């Protein structure tokens, strides 16, 4: 089984638009892939409706708009949640370079 990490905090509409691509990744192998999705608390209930998605809720407000200390704490919590997992694919669905910090 391969593991895929998707980073898409986004608004609900953005997440809904990304779901078909995530489902295609899930189905791409006979054994199915494990989809881990880093999201904000607003879209977590929506993603929880999909049993093939494991949600990893991050404090996107702190990561993007918090003080330096808040950013470090929020990123550290997120890195603990995804650290030690080997992902075959990490999809950061943003152009903004700040999101690259999530998947260092």
- Across the chain, mean pLDDT equals 86
Where residue 31 falls among pLDDT bands split at 50, 70, 90? Answer: low
Could you give the domains of the chain? 3-59+86-94 (3.40.50.2000)
In the predicted structure, residue 30 carries a pLDDT above the cut 60: no
**Would the pLDDT of 1 be above 80?**
no
Listed in sequence order, the residues at least 6 apart from 55 whose beta carbon sits closer than 8 Å to its beta carbon are: 37, 39, 44, 47, 48
- Residues 50 and 61 sit within 8 Å (Cβ to Cβ): no
Residue 29: its pLDDT value, please? 63
- pLDDT the model gives residue 89: 84
- Phi/psi for 41 (5° steps) reads -65, -20
What pLDDT digit, counting tens, does each position of 35-78 carry? 999 999 999 999 999 999 999 999 988 988 889 999 899 989 99
């Amino acid at each position: 089984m391969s593991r895929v990490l998707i980073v898409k905090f986004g608004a609900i509409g953005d997440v809904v638009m990304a779901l078909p691509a995530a489902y295609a990744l899930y189905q791409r192998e006979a054994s199915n892939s494990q989809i881990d999705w880093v999201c904000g608390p607003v879209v977590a209930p929506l993603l929880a409706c999909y049993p093939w998605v494991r949600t990893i809720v991050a404090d996107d407000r702190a990561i993007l708009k918090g003080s330096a200390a808040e950013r470090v704490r929020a990123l550290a919590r997120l890195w603990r949640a995804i650290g030690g997992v080997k992902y075959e694919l990490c999809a950061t669905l943003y152009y903004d370079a700040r999101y690259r910090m999530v998947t260092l």
